[in-house]
Each structure stands twice: as structure tokens, then as C-alpha cells.
Amino acid sequence: MLTQQIINGLMLGAIYMLVAVAFTLAIGVLNFLNFSIPGLFMLGGVATFGFLKMGWPFLLAAAGALFIAALVSLLVERLAYRRMKEGDADVPLVSSLGFLVLLENLVLIRYGSDQQAFPALFPDMNLRVGGLVIGIVQLVSMAISLGLVAWLSWFLRTTNAGRRIRTVAENRETAMLMGINIERLVPQLFVCSALLAALAGLLFAINYQQVTPFMGEGIGFKAVAAMIIGGMGSIWGAVIGGLLIGLAEVLSVSFIGADVVNITVYGLLLVILILRPQGLLGRPPAREKL
């Protein structure tokens, strides 16, 4: 029972983790708390749902949803982020929140506010190990999430493009003097972050077989909490934070009750921040980033 819940917790955690990494890229490199990310998460699920309803095959529907999320993210970059450069740093935060509300309402108009049943795409295959039941879909989703984040971390650490991103994260002016084309890099980062969020939304829809216009909100807040728990700006911090919150949530639902979920999750956040203000893997400023 406990092991089963741990597996379920890690599955949910893997989704928080992807969204937390999307937030981490935005805040760590662009210094931008991008609140359109929960909207892109929702789009990943809802657009796939819409395309499936139109009769598209799954892979095409998923690719279409990721594509749309990337496009919307480029719009956020153009309309919200690019304008802040000289201005107040709070303005893009608020306008990205505007994008979230806009996306939610567009979906609401199209599909209504009710929860929609996302079709079961894959036959219900399970691995049975001892008394444990592990869904294959669940397992594959977790492998994809962890594999992607591990790849991203490797990419940032060892490639020229990764070093460019980390240079921009540390100091934009220096990055410019080193000949880094920031104008091109920033939109690329917005696309990356959007793909992570939308993939998370897609995996959520597949695993929990439901989509709603507002599915991004709760997840978004918990992903931000995960990022803070792990240490802002650290990818592995976002991984640990995401998995911890997923575990805390599932375990408290099954052992204490559904009403206390938010108390445990945000209580965990509070406790960790009191014990370690910079987060679990967070380092004092002016040290290694990402």
C-alpha cells in the first residue's frame, strides 16, 4: 500500500517536476516569473484533447498541441517579456498572468468549464510486482520526464549552447560582449520552457484522463513551490522539489485525507524555507547556476 502510494506520488511529482523546470528556466535565465506556464500546461492537455476529438491520430495531436504551446509562448515573449527590458520587472509578471487568464477563458468558451474526459489511449497494461501494480503508461511517462530533465541538465553543462544559456543567466551584459546572440536565445528559451510545460500537461491528461480549462492553476502553484523548495534556479532542485511535493500530496491524501493536501504541501514549503531559506539545492548567490 505504502509502496504503491509512493509510486503514485512520484508519478504526480514527475509532472510537477517538468513544470518546475519550465519555471526554473524562465526565472533562472530570464529572471522572469512566467505565469503563462500553467496556461501552457493546460494547453498541452486541452489542445491534444481537441485534436483527438477532431479525429487526429495521437502522435499528431500531441505534436500539434506542443506546437501551439510553443507559438503562444513566443507571443508571450513578444508581448509581455520583451517590453519589460527597461521598465518595471513586475509588469511582465502581471501580463503573463493575463495570458493565463486569456488562455483559460478561450478554452472555457470552446469546451465549457466542465471537466472533460480525456480518452484512454493505451490499453490498460500493468506490471505486477509482488502486490504492486504499476501502469506501463505511468512508467513510460516517468521515464520520459526524468530522461528529458537529465538530458537538459547534460545539455546545459556540456554544450556550447548550454554554456551560452548559463552565461546569459549569470550576466547578460557579459554575454553580449562575448558575442552571444541574446535576441535569438531568449525566444528559444521561451519555446523550451513551453514544451516542458505542455508535455507535462499532456502526460497529466494521459495519466489522469481528464482536462479542464483550469487544470494549470493548482499544478502551477505547486510547481512554483517545488522550485522554491529545491532552490530557485537549480534544475536538480526543481526535480527534487517536484518529486517531494508529489509524494507529500499523494501520501497525505491517502493517509490523512484529501482536505489537508494544501496544508501538507505548503506546510512542507514553509518548514523547508525556515530550515534552509535558499532551498534544498539552492546556493548562496553568485555561485553555480542551473
Kindly list the residues in this chain that would bind other proteins in the complex (CB under 8 A): 160, 163-164, 166-167, 169-171, 173-174, 176-181, 286-289
Query: For residues 176 and 153, what is the distance between their CA atoms, to the nearest angstrom?
Result: 23
Radius of gyration, alpha carbons of the chain: 19
Q: Enter the C-alpha cell of residue 164.
A: 551560452
Instruction: Show the cell assigned to 268.
Output: 512542507
- As a whole number of angstroms, the distance between CA 229 and CA 272 comes to 6
Closest C-alpha among 26, 23, 6, 60 to residue 202? 60
- Min CB(148)–other proteins separation in Å: 23
CB of 114 or CB of 173, closer to other proteins: 173
Inter-axis angle of helices 215-230 and 182-208, nearest 10? 120
Query: 185 vs 225, which CB is nearer to other proteins?
Result: 185
Nearest approach, Cβ of 234 to other proteins (angstroms)? 11
For other proteins, give the closer residue by CB, 126 or 181: 181
C-alpha–C-alpha distance, residues 36 and 96, integer Å:
5
Least CB distance to other proteins at residue 254 (A): 41
Q: Which phi and psi angles does 267 have, rounded to 5°?
A: -65, -45
Q: Which residue lies nearer to other proteins by CB, 124 or 288?
A: 288
Residue among 170 and 217 whose Cβ is closer to other proteins: 170
Locus of grid cell 509562448:
73
CB of 29 to other proteins, least distance (A): 12
The nearest distance, CB 180 to other proteins, in angstroms, is: 7
Closest separation in Å from C-beta 160 to other proteins? 4
Whole-angstrom CA distances from 237 to 17, 146, 177, 228 are 9, 13, 30, 8
